Structure 1
Amino acid sequence: MTTADEPAGTGTPRWALFVGAAVLGLAALGVCAFVILNSWTNGWAAGQEDADHELERAQIAEQQWHQAHPDPTEPVLPDYAEYFSQVADEVAAP
């Protein structure tokens, strides 16, 4: 901008000031976006980690419960040693 005391053609052109202000504004928006997204993703990761730990604890508790309370509808496997000894006796008998 020129004043009456400056000769024409000196000073900063008006468009350069607008470009500089736009660049600084975009940089500030970029910094704000980075800070917001970084804090949001860190919070999400911490929440996800808590959820993973809670799921793991629930699975362990469920396994412990099933070990303490076996399912009565599941078939009990026969004693194979007794079965094979009977088969061996039958095969050995003339």
Structure 2
Amino acid sequence: MPLSSIIWDLDDDPEGNVVHVAEHGVTQEEVEDVLANPTDRDTSHSSGYPVAFGDTRTGRHLIVVYEQIDAETVYPITAYDVPRRMQL
């Protein structure tokens, strides 16, 4: 099931998820691509948060680490490029 509601902090919040995702060279739109159409899901072994793997319209393969707020709402924590065959 795609995640349809995504909570983003303000762009100028230095502790926010917009800034943290951008530090990894990932855009909000790329995160939204993955969350809207994940190819796989799992749980991060290091943080315990849920993760979604997927491809973006720009051709990148990303992992998005997020907090599940409710059945359809998530708060992205971070996102970064991963090899297509990466296992957690």
**What is the TM-score normalised by the length of structure 2?**
0.17
Higher percent of residues as strand: 2
Higher percent of residues as helix: 1
Report 1 or 2 for greater relative contact order, CA contacts < 8 Å, sequence distance ≥ 6: 2
Larger Rg over CA atoms: 1
**What is the TM-score normalised by the length of structure 1?**
0.16
